[in-house]
Amino acid sequence: MAKVKSYELDEAVRNKILKDFYLMVASLNNVSEVEKFLKDLLTPSESVMIARRIQIAKMLLEGALHEEIRRKLGVGFSTINQVDRWLNNGFGGYKLALKKLKKGAMPKFQQPQNIPMTFDWLRKRYPAHYLLINLLMKNK
């Protein structure tokens, strides 16, 4: 998929597609549905990148120093600085979500089913990522 530069989109089109996305996420009823949606939407790498940003935000809110975060999570200073800017100058989404999580506002969601994360499961779940391996192992 070609990269889209948000500033090149017409503002009305950008607002419409973003609103559709936000409504779709908000319509999900439990952790299992959110998990399935995000696994279909994001690559494993994108999921990890987002999860690491959340970990950075949590550590920043707990008062951790940038160097400590860099060492513990193995992220660059630019990523930490960007998350720090979003925390302090953004729309408050990080703080709101982390505050709700800390207060235990999320337990209304059901726990996701335990899916065995085996190599064979990953190959079947993400066939495009393992295309070469799948082609080589098909004859075996």
Domain boundaries, the chain: 29-109, 113-140
What is the band of 118 on the pLDDT scale with cuts at 50, 70, 90? confident
Per-residue pLDDT at 110 exceeds 80? no
- The confidence score (pLDDT) of residue 66 equals 95
Measured between alpha carbons, how far is 32 from 113 in angstroms, rounded to an integer? Answer: 7
Q: Decide: helix, strand or coil at residue 128.
A: coil
- The confidence score (pLDDT) of residue 13 equals 86
Task: Mean pLDDT check: name the lowest of 32-36, 54-58, 109-113, 117-121.
Answer: 109-113
Measured between alpha carbons, how far is 130 from 123 in angstroms, rounded to an integer? Answer: 6
Measured between alpha carbons, how far is 124 from 91 in angstroms, rounded to an integer? Answer: 38
Supply the CATH classification number for the domain 29-109.
Answer: 1.10.1270.10
Q: What is the pTM of this model?
A: 0.65
